[in-house]
Amino acid sequence: MNIKRTYQEINNKIKKGEAIVATAEEIISMVEEKGIKKVTQEIDVVTTGTFGPMCSSGAILNFGHSDPPIKMQKIWLNDVEAYAGLAAVDAYLGATQLSESQGMDYGGAHVIEDFILGKKIKLKALSYGTDCYPRKEIEVYITKESINQAILFNPRNSYQNYNVAINTSEKKMYTYMGILLPEMGNANYSTSGQLSPLLKDPKFITIGIGTRIFLGGTQGYIAWEGTQFCPQESKDNKKGQQIYKGGTLAVIGNLKEMSTDYIRAAIFKNYGISLMVGIGIPIPILNDEVMKYVSVKDEEIFTEVINSSVPHLSRPSLGWVNYKQLREGKINIQGKEIPTSSLSSYAKAREIAQKLKDEIIKGKFFLQEPIQKLPQKGEFKPLKGIN
């Protein structure tokens, strides 16, 4: 019998405390034991999780008006510049922006973390002054309680399937994928594999604009496709496996409700600042097809190994590996055994998937059907000058 469920049916079961939920990790053994059709009949929701560096992140802040009022033209928060070209007292603070006094030791991500912790943040703003906004300078301290809105809005998060980075040169490299040792001394990756949201719904059957998600410790939403959204499908010629990559999400949520358990600043030595973001997405089991995708396991999910030492947009491929190999701590590339390490935390991804599962079971988290599907195709355009 082919099962077909609706969001309303599942939400009704959540409301009554009758929903059966499994994490993306738990569902694998269930399907192996009973098969897709049987487990589809039993399970209503599968939860996913990821926790890793997501540089394209930041916060929209509204400070409120001073007396006399000021039209903020230049803004610094703990000496980190925020973008002020929104309105008189609105700003966007980018996670990767560096402190003007501390450089790479402190940045926008640290301000966001300090804000969540309730610490005082020094706000400095300058203005050219107008008739209605006569004030030209202000220095005050703010907290999350003192300002109006603090909205985490991240233009590109939850990358579907990121490449593995290797350095074939003779020089150590400091990159957004961490430190890459010379002569293929290590391999770094940053995806949670069989727990990763966009690898458990690779064709965006259930994930779309308006989907309610776990974001940084609270409930948030998918606002749009992420920047550089370019979903791709390819096959590994050796294994014949279908490979998905290139999907991204723009996400939004209330920063005041978030926790530093799931939002943390990170410093990448000699490269810059990033924000560690925790995201969990519930996948409603609408039918057998959805179950087929959520039950894939690490050894069935492949990603590409890229030579990061080539200083060009298009970098040479060194082959394909699966996440089981990566998580076991070593891969074999060109006959050499290379140790692996992950920039994302699998343990934290597991924790997020479990926390989301618990909230659904307790009736604290309901599913939201997307109001619009994400595109099935995209185009990744390089920057080219126009004459």
- What are phi and psi for residue 257, nearest 5 degrees? -95, 0
Where are the alpha helices (H) located in the chain, listed in sequence order? 7-16, 26-34, 36-42, 108-116, 197-200, 288-294, 323-327, 346-361
CA 375/CA 121 separation, integer angstroms: 40
- What are phi and psi for residue 155, nearest 5 degrees? -70, -25
Give me the torsion for CA of 51, 164, 173, 158, rounded to 10°: -30
DSSP annotation of 137 reads E
Residues 6+ apart with CB under 8 A from 363: 14, 15, 17
Chain position carrying tokens 């890229």? 306
CA 56/CA 349 separation, integer angstroms: 19
Return the amino acid letter for 28. I
CA 13/CA 21 separation, integer angstroms: 11
What is the 3-class SS of 350-375, one letter each residue?
HHHHHHHHHHHHCCCCCCCCCCEECC
Q: Please state, as a whole number, how many other Cβ atoms lie within 10 Å of the Cβ of residue 339.
A: 12
Structure tokens at 75: 């803004």
Q: What residues are annotated to the active site?
A: 132
Q: Note whether 144 and 116 are within 8 A (CB).
A: yes
Of 181, 214, 194, 216, give the one whose Cα is nearest residue 309.
Answer: 181
Q: Classify 385 as helix, strand or coil.
A: coil
Alpha-carbon distances of 89 from 96, 99, 119, 129, 348, rounded to whole Å? 21, 21, 20, 13, 36
